[in-house]
Amino acid sequence: MPHISNAVLLAGLAIAGGAAAQTPPQDDPYAWLEDVSGAKSLDWVKARNAKAEADIASSAPFKTLEAQIRASLDSTAKIPGVEKIGAYYYNFWKDAQHQRGLWRRTTLDEYRKPEPAWETVLDLDALNTAEGTQWVWHGANCLRPKYQRCLIALSPGGSDADVTREFDLTTKQFVQDGFFRPEAKGGLGWIDENTVYVFTDFGAGTLTSSGYPRMVKQWTRGTPLASAKLVYAGKPDDMYISALHDDTPGFERDFISRTLAFYNDELYLRGANGQLTKVDAPNSAQKAVHKDWLLLELREPYTAGGKTYAAGALIATHFDAFMAGKRDFSVLFAPTDHAALASYAWTKDHLILNVMDHVKNRLSVFTPGKQGWGSTAFVGAPGIGTVGVSPVDPDDSNALWLTSTDFLSPTTLSIVDVGNAPEVLKSNPVFFDGSLDVIEQHFATSKDGTQVPYFLVRPKDLKFDGKTPTLLYGYGGFEISLTPSYSGAIGKGWLEKGGVYVLANIRGGGEYGPRWHQAALKANRHKAYEDFAAIADDLVARKITSPKHLGTMGGSNGGLLMGNMLTQYPEKFGAIVVQVPLLDMKRYNHLLAGASWMAEYGNPDTSDWDFIQTFSPYHLFDASKDYPPTLFTTSTKDDRVHPAHARKMMAKMEAAGKNVRYYENIEGGHGGAANNAQAAHMSALAYTFLWQQLTK
């Protein structure tokens, strides 16, 4: 295990969770749609699905596009991403013959070949047939050094709630009477062969108000889950409690994480006697422990040892010395007005920093030594596009996986030993003809004067007459950065048809580090929407498009963004697709995982409602106003963002006679689809709808 951090402990936290909804308000005529699987609600869903299918999916262009997207998703020529587990390299693979997926393995020598020989470890489609289930893969955690036993997480239908089952890599079978965690939000993690940490739903009072685990326990093989020993219990209004054993040889440690809210957590070292000692770093900092080192990724200024370190900096110190009270840090990265830390990765001897400079990746190598940290350039990194690195085996080698991509260049995977030139191993197929397009980066001026970057992909021979169908995509939340990537769906659904595609880097995201995110929190949420509107205006000013031909799309927090474009800036768009959205911001914190997002949006049950109501689309809707044609999409199985957000907004707009459509996938969870067929169908609905509306 390379390092343990609060980010690792909470891996997937931003995409999991869910508490039971409180009683819906009596004054909401559509509150009955909050009954996720009630017969009345599902009958309503099926009727609207049928209408959307008839309006959008019945055409020949839709069927062609759906088949093209499905072919790109099912392509057997795609790069099979791998993870080293013991002596083998494991991959989870889905295609037309394996819709739910295969967990398989090979050797590195085989993997280097154009057509590796794979050994199937677990066939999810066969398992579903045998068990009469619809499992969706959620990952595996395998115990070293033997790498014989794994804890496999499986979700029913794609929901974030899942089960954990013990699996034997030697027999390739689930272990009879092995560790088993029943369906819930939470996790199971190895301590040793006969002991695990378990954080899950233990019954009444054991979940936080966000629907996440409030307790972590230590569980011994052969004993009932009910007898597991309590390790730590958080408070009901905490967000998430978890634990993890770091099994790095020579640095074995146990940690407990208490998350109060996003970017607000406490990390504790658990001693052999069970005593917890706090890692006394700022709650807002991302804390990571790797062998000798403690790394802090700061989100606020931090004063320690007589020095002040800037928000956005990455600083390092010896972990044991820090726990003993010393505060001597080395600055590995300091932010600038245009550069922010995107990520970092450890190899055996080096730390690789990935920095975004105006949303463009740059890599560098840091090496700890007796004289401090040395820094060198990373050899062979691509000069353009989105670049990512991850360790092959961080404990035993300095090898890295290196990926690179952009809007028009299929992803390439290389393996590289630090200091040497990369060796290209795999490239994704070309799924569309991008030879007629060009990529540009521009900056729009927001209402308060802030320069907001965006990427644009356009035909080289664009006429600049304001008539080109243009799709503007955005997110703008939770410090998540949007960077260029290759998509067969966008290529076939938009670019090959002559459309323009735009990716917005608005505030609320992480493109310029914590400051970019914090600039659009809570009462300043409007700045994200002003940024997005400014990009729309800039596209029109450049005569790339016009409101009649400009469409927009986004999901989750991006769905909230779309709801605000719809209700606050309807005159700027010719069509809008709103995916798995938050829309009822008065109720959001009482629906599923909503309470965990109050650090982002505020608490509508307090005076925060004064500003939250200014960006609550469900309340901003005005039946007397004109709105562009709109498509809402969501999933019944989404136990993260409640489908009632989309359902209720659809019902309200439909009752007002607006041009609106709705499609709810029964499976799929927050991602919207449980397999490639569903994903292709959902994508084809969105792109076909937009093209229909913007080319009228």
* Rounded average pLDDT over 277-299: 97
CB 604 within 8 A of CB 612: yes
Tokens (6 digits) for 589: 């914190």
Q: Are 494 and 471 in contact (CB under 8 A)?
A: yes
Q: What is the pLDDT of residues 344-379, one digit of tens each?
A: 999 999 999 999 999 999 999 999 998 899 999 999
Q: Which of 23-27, 147-151, 206-210, 369-373 has the highest mean pLDDT?
A: 147-151
| Average confidence (pLDDT) over 670-696 | 87
Task: Specify whether the CB–CB gap between 654 and 52 falls below 8 A.
Answer: no
* Helix 39-52, helix 644-655: angle, nearest 10: 70
- 593 has a pLDDT exceeding 90: no
Q: Would you name the residues annotated as active-site residues? A: 556, 670
Q: Is 532 left (phi over 0), alpha (psi -120 to 50) or beta?
A: alpha
Q: Is the pLDDT of residue 15 over 50?
A: no
Sign of CA dihedral 489, 491, 495, 501: positive
Task: Give the Cα separation of 404 and 358 in Å (integer).
Answer: 17
pLDDT computed for residue 568 by the predictor = 98
Torsions phi, psi for 453 (to 5 deg): -80, 155
**Residue 84: beta bridge partners?**
89
* Model pLDDT, residue 668: 55
Q: What is the side-by-side order of every strand in the sheet holding 361-369?
A: 339-346, 351-357, 361-369, 372-377
Q: Which CATH number fits domain 35-71+431-694: 3.40.50.1820, 3.30.565.10, 3.30.930.10, 3.40.630.30?
A: 3.40.50.1820
Judged against a pLDDT cut of 80, whether residue 5 lies above it is answered with no
| Collapsed DSSP state (helix, strand, coil) of residue 377 | strand
What is the structure's pLDDT at 47? 97
92: pLDDT strictly greater than 90: yes
On the question of pLDDT at 13 being above 80, the answer is: no
On average, the pLDDT of the chain sits at 94
Q: List, edge to edge, every strand of the sheet that includes 83-85.
A: 83-85, 88-95, 98-106, 119-123
Encode pLDDT of 604-655 as tens digits.
Answer: 999 999 999 999 999 999 999 999 999 999 999 888 889 999 999 999 999 9
The pLDDT of residue 50 is above 70: yes
Residue 422 Cα distances to 61, 116, 143, 405, angstroms: 42, 20, 30, 15
User: In Å, how far are 258, 305, 333, 340, 439 from 354, measured between CA atoms?
Assistant: 28, 27, 10, 9, 22
Q: Tens of pLDDT along 374-417?
A: 999 999 888 778 999 999 999 899 999 999 999 999 999 999 99
Alpha carbon 122 to its chain centroid, in Å, reads: 25
Q: Could you read off the pLDDT of 456-485 as tens digits, one per residue?
A: 999 999 999 999 999 999 999 999 999 999
Say whether pLDDT at 20 is over 70: no
Residue pLDDT, tens place only, 253-264 = 999 999 999 899
Instruction: Give residue 158's pLDDT band: very low, low, confident or very high (50, 70, 90).
Output: confident
pLDDT digits (tens, 9 = 90+) for 557-572: 999 999 999 999 999 9
Q: Is the confidence at residue 1, as pLDDT, over 90?
A: no
Q: What pLDDT is attached to residue 14?
A: 36
Look at residue 637 in the predicted model and tell me its pLDDT. Answer: 83
Average pLDDT over residues 482-506: 97
**pLDDT-based confidence at residue 85 (cuts at 50, 70, 90):** very high
pLDDT range class, residue 24, cuts 50, 70, 90: low
Domain boundaries, the chain: 35-71+431-694
Pairing between strand 451-459 and 500-504?
Answer: antiparallel
Checking if the pLDDT of 35 tops 70, the result is yes
Q: Is 99 exposed, middle or buried (0-12, 13-18, 19+ CB in 10 A)?
A: middle
Q: Is the peptide bond before 145 cis (omega within 30 degrees of 0)?
A: yes
